[in-house]
Amino acid sequence: MKIVVCVKQVPDTAAQVVVENGQVSWGDAPLVINPWDEYAVEAALQKAGDHGGSVTVISMGKENETEALKHALAMGCNEAILVSDPALGSSDNVAAARVLAAAIRNVGDVDLAFFGKQAVDSDTGTLPGMVARILGWPALTLVSAISVLSAEAIKVERAIEEGRQVVESKLPVVVSVTKDYGEPRYPSFMGIRKAARAEIPIWDLGQLGIEAPAPVISWPEMMNPPRREVTTEIIAGDSPQDIAAKLADKIMAEKVL
């Protein structure tokens, strides 16, 4: 079974992200693998483990953006590819999807392409469906469990607003994984050493045989959100009952119930 997993490099979620002089800054926070994508890597490794086969991890980014790939290699992926080209400056999701789809095609004979649920920087959560659409494959998004997988078919459970939906499909498919798939494994010591030494090949647009897709989304302005102006009132009292009564009165006075 040939499995691909797509991962993104993002600033750590603990970072204070701010706009300074029109530029986004996350201070000296480290760059890490997008947390959702660790679940996708875990799913890919489990399935490769169960069915035999290799896992190729792909990330699109600037030429030095290899943190996410190294983490995925350290977790146990067989091979990493960085998709990078100076012509790709865009922050347009359809354009990104076209490039990732071309990269998946370029890997060749892929059965399963795993994605995370969402990137924690851009917060769009649309790439898995888009890539599937471009490849002409079905999209099984928000997958919480894979109950059946054979050379031809897959059956998964999806997390939707109303509960769980069980669906089946033929391969190849795109699968996006949610957190309830299961905890991602930690990189092993050996894995970390291997990843540190790995030479990660770069595929540019020439190798993918495509032109840079023209972005249609522009970002005219980035802003820090308005400060939350709150005066915190600490409610004290003689007894829990007294405090609860005072708090209840305060809440009622806000007219939010």
Partner 1 sequence: MTNKIWVYIDQFEGQALPSSWEGIGVGLSLAETLGGGVTALVFGQGVEGVARQAFHYGAGEVLLADDATLADYRSEPYTALIAKLAAGRVPEIILFPTTTRGRELAGMSAVDLNSGVLVDVIALEVQDGRVLATRPIYAGKLLAKVQCSAKPQIVTLRGRAFAKPEADESRAGVLTKVEAAMAEADITVKVVDYTTSEVGVSLTDAAVIVSGGRGVSNNPKLEPPADLSDGEKEVWRARKGFELVGGLAEALGAAVGASRAAVDAGYVPYSHQVGQTGKVVSPDLYVACGISGAIQHLAGMRTSKVIVAINKDPDAPVFKLARFGVVGDLFDILPHLTVALRERLGK
Ligand X SMILES: Cc1cc2nc3c(=O)[nH]c(=O)nc-3n(C[C@H](O)[C@H](O)[C@H](O)COP(=O)(O)OP(=O)(O)OC[C@H]3O[C@@H](n4cnc5c(N)ncnc54)[C@H](O)[C@@H]3O)c2cc1C
The contact set with ligand X (CB under 6 A) reads 13, 35
Nearer to ligand AMP, 5 or 154 (CB): 5
Residue 115 interacts, among ligand X, partner 1, ligand AMP, none and using kind-specific CB cut-offs from 5 to 8 Å, with ligand AMP
Strand, coil or helix: 169 = strand
Q: Which amino acid is at 203?
A: W
Count of all residues that appear for the chain in the document: 257
Nearer to ligand X, 93 or 118 (CB): 118
Q: 43 touches which of ligand AMP, partner 1, ligand X, none (CB within 5 to 8 A by kind)? A: none
For residue 11, how many C-alpha atoms fall within 13 Å in the half-sphere facing its CB?
Answer: 14
- Does 84 engage in binding with ligand AMP (CB under 6 A)? no
User: Residues 90-129: x/- map of binding to ligand AMP (CB under 6 A)?
Assistant: ---x--x---x--------------xxxxx--x-xxxxx-
CB burial of 76-108 (b: ≥16 within 10 Å; e: otherwise) equals: bbebbbbbbbeebebebbbbbbbbbbbbbebbe
Tokens 């509960």 sit on residue: 163
End-to-end C-alpha distance for the chain, whole angstroms: 54
Provide the minimum distance between the beta carbon of 143 and ligand AMP in the complex, in angstroms, as a whole number. 13
Distance of closest approach, residue 36 Cβ to partner 1, in angstroms? 7
Which residues, 6+ apart, have CB-to-CB distance to 89 below 8 Å?
A: none
Instruction: Tell whether the torsion through CA atoms of 74, 76, 78 and 84 is positive or negative.
Output: negative
Closer Cβ to ligand AMP, 34 or 111, answer by number: 34
Select the binding partner of residue 37 from ligand X, ligand AMP, partner 1, none (C-beta < 5 to 8 A, by kind): ligand AMP
Binding site for ligand AMP (CB under 6 A): 6-8, 34, 36-37, 40, 58-61, 93, 96, 100, 115-119, 122, 124-128
